[in-house]
Amino acid sequence: GVTFIEESVVMETIGEEGKKFMPFLTTMFFFILFSNIFEVIPGIQFPANSRMAIPITLALVVWVIYNVVGIRSQGLGGYLKNSLFPPGVPVALYLIVTPIELVSTFIVRPFSLAIRLWANMVAGHLLLVTFAVLTHTLWSSTYVGAVAPFAMLTMMTGFEILVSVLQAFIFTILTAVYIGGSLHPAH
């Protein structure tokens, strides 16, 4: 798992100087993975990330880290300049581009990170509950009618395991992209 994070996340998005973020990114990946995988464990069957408090807390931690990293590596003025005034944009367009960059970088980014994780886990949980209730209801009345929803429940459970891993990976790789972007401003 650690090698996977190093090779597939850190080295691909940040580079060699991203190795100092390995403990954080590895912890983030496995915390999200294990929080998500509770969705398919009998008796629990509820992903922790389907409660908005956990994804928003994780996203705010990421927000603080990539802003601190950006300020430390570029200085406050350089970080704000590189974040709000992208190079290559004509000066006349800064009036339009700067507010968009301000909102997208400092406000929307943490919320989109949290909502992406939360919404995927809620949707998966609702699908599993729907097919489980349908299977139980049809099993009570007629055994034959429960075969199709039970097959869907089984397939959706496998799919949700894939989604749990994928969401942990996406959250972690986006975190690495944001950290890498604040370490290495666009030229």
pLDDT in tens, 109-152: 999 999 999 999 999 888 888 888 888 888 877 777 778 888 88
55: CB partners within 8 A, 6+ apart:
49, 113, 114, 115, 117, 118
pTM for the model stands at 0.87
pLDDT averaged over every residue in the chain: 90
| pLDDT for residue 171 is more than 90 | yes
Phi/psi zone of residue 89: left (φ > 0), alpha (ψ -120 to 50 degrees), beta? beta
